[in-house]
Structure 1
């Protein structure tokens, strides 16, 4: 306790220097928290943008490869893909039942997908056709809330198309259009609704119809071409995909594997944030070390007197280590409070359309890490001044 009292008196003997030193540490911690919250917020925003209108895990039919019979002459095996019969998931109702029993799965959408052409007079547009169950139209992509004309009621001959596709063909809700599929099947359908998601890939080239309407158009009387899944935690999609692939025997693809460029960008973004955090901690260490080195030099006579009275060198070193500890704790506490307040204020700023002006997550500022690392860094920074002070020769110091 006596060492603590001495360390505190040393700090308060020059209040302006101590205040500036604590303010410098607090500023470094504020930057640390701001960068951490910003990186986390950007990661959440990008993940939501990618997964908000797409599946977290997609189940596809397994790829069958020709095998070499036992005892046969070794030959190179090749994948045999039929150009007549489409690969499909025939027992999809059973698999859907298994998926619904999984607590991590929150939405399931069996689909028949394929390509085709929408024909209106002389205007022709290539489209990706998705056939799904009408009651599950919003399971993966929230289409109903994006309808700008008409309704989401597909029915037996209904079709939902994007705003850009409708503009390209001059279509409107209630108009009849011809759909010609890749299987040379065609049928006249009614545009029940027009949606606008803001995603060009959807608004320009995707048409939705009911699963039963899609079956004869793509020659799939029983099966489906894929099953899309939403999870309660998108970040676990890769692990869930591995589990579902083993449980169902199908090919399971996570959204991360479909967006490797995004994953790489998030990693690079995180590494950049880590570098900025490291530099913030280095500036804290340098600031504390330089201030305590100066303090140790200025207090050489006092240290020499204490040593002359028989105070051990370990006690002297402990005084300077406690100064570093107090500076680190005070600066970290003030910096965490300031950083949280700054991040909360920035998170509340909005644009004219009501969206957040800055993607920042105040609750993910890494406050515990900031306090621990800052305090540890300040203590480490005080090691050199502490060793220098403990090695002062009493006679030489008193003579100065």
Structure 2
């Protein structure tokens, strides 16, 4: 294609300017990729921190409401009251667990009995949230046993795992006995089998774990469970999976996003900020390419005029400048993608003393295809104005100049 040869010759006739222009495009693409990878990595880290020790979807019994009864046998309207003492529970939870295990999006399942209670030792009393869990799956949702600092995770028939802050407040240690009084009015003497430290105040200060078998008589639930906690392979699928489970089971399914609306708002605002930075990067690329090609078209008015005088059509001139923009954008974008990926890998390799990455960055989510396509397209668009200007040059006027 002759137009491509002419475009390449124009670019090579001033190599320093062409290299500087390509370097500017590559720098803009590098910034685009870095921002994209940083925003994605920060979102992943924040999501992991929030959902690392909590469920992605929580299944609970549907909310019961009072019903108004009316009919020919009733002289006046009556209200069917809902008992506040009877605990809401999931009676057919084994069938639901089987359904969850067949779902490829699910990575872990934890049927639980949750309730409120008080721990009492001598005159010290502390409120506590009890989680009755399967002894074999205590780490299904939260990694508790690896964080035990004293004792072990063998709950047994009367065992209790408590957080380090609760242990300090009550003066407890592994092996000691403690009286537990539930909100159902049931009391039992339990043994602290282990003390854990997760680093989360809500867990370390207010949550205690026991086995499902121990929790049943304490909360008067001989058959069912109060909730089923679900972990997913991809936390972003929580809303879709929650909708499916709600329809399939009739239970109330709550995704983690609805429990952390402030985090979701923050991630949305963060993503919008990143998008603005990306847009400004593309605008700077377009302005740079357009200004360079405008100057090139002005300097080559004489050459363009001679070509037009020899009968070269304006469409050919148009293609020459469009191809210059295409080459600059494509080469600069390829170099920028490579340098951006290398920068992200290097930054990811910088680790803190605890072994975690110092900068939350995800090189694999740098938006390379988008950067390549948008930059190349932007460079072509930037070349349209100078290309149209060059194609409309009056041959006589250009040669006289």
Relative to the length of structure 2, the TM-score reads: 0.96
Partner of 1:105: 106
Runs of 4+ that moved beyond 6 A = 70-73, 75-79
**Aligned equivalents of 1:71 and 1:157: distance in 2?**
51
Partner of 2:376: 375
Q: State the Cα distance separating 1:106 from its structure 2 match.
A: 2.1
Q: Verify the 8 A CA contact 1:25 1:332 in the aligned structure 2.
A: yes
Q: Secondary structure at the match of 2:48?
A: helix
Partner of 2:87: 86
Q: Verify the 8 A CA contact 1:161 1:207 in the aligned structure 2.
A: yes
**Aligned equivalents of 1:344 and 1:272: distance in 2?**
23
- Structure 2 stretches lacking a partner, 5+ long: none
**Aligned equivalents of 2:197 and 2:363: distance in 1?**
32
Q: Verify the 8 A CA contact 2:69 2:77 in the aligned structure 1.
A: no
CA RMSD of aligned residues (A): 1.7
Partner of 1:339: 340
Q: Verify the 8 A CA contact 1:119 1:177 in the aligned structure 2.
A: yes
Q: Does 1:354 align with 2:358?
A: no
Partner of 2:32: 32
- Structure 1 stretches lacking a partner, 5+ long: none
Alignment of 1:45-56 (within 5 A): 45-56=45-56
Q: Secondary structure at the match of 1:352?
A: coil
Q: State the Cα distance separating 1:97 from its structure 2 match.
A: 2.1
Q: State the Cα distance separating 1:125 from its structure 2 match.
A: 1.2
**Aligned equivalents of 1:185 and 1:346: distance in 2?**
55
Partner of 2:18: 18
Partner of 1:136: 137
**Aligned equivalents of 2:212 and 2:88: distance in 1?**
17
Distance change in 2, residues 1:159/1:271 (3 Å)? same
Q: State the Cα distance separating 1:36 from its structure 2 match.
A: 0.6
State the aligned residue count.
399
Q: Verify the 8 A CA contact 1:36 1:366 in the aligned structure 2.
A: yes
Structure 1 residues 280-289 or 112-121, which shifts more?
112-121
Q: Secondary structure at the match of 1:343?
A: helix
Q: Verify the 8 A CA contact 1:328 1:376 in the aligned structure 2.
A: yes
**CA-to-partner distance for each residue in 1:74-106, whole Å, 9 max, x for gaps?**
x99989542211111112122222222222222
Distance change in 2, residues 1:295/1:274 (3 Å)? same
Q: Does 1:216 align with 2:217?
A: yes
**Aligned equivalents of 1:225 and 1:111: distance in 2?**
6
**Aligned equivalents of 2:77 and 2:314: distance in 1?**
77
**CA-to-partner distance for each residue in 1:85-142, whole Å, 9 max, x for gaps?**
1111112122222222222222211111111111111111111111111111111111
Q: Secondary structure at the match of 2:280?
A: helix
Q: Does 1:395 align with 2:379?
A: no
Q: Verify the 8 A CA contact 2:68 2:80 in the aligned structure 1.
A: no
Partner of 1:161: 162
Distance change in 2, residues 1:160/1:76 (3 Å)? farther
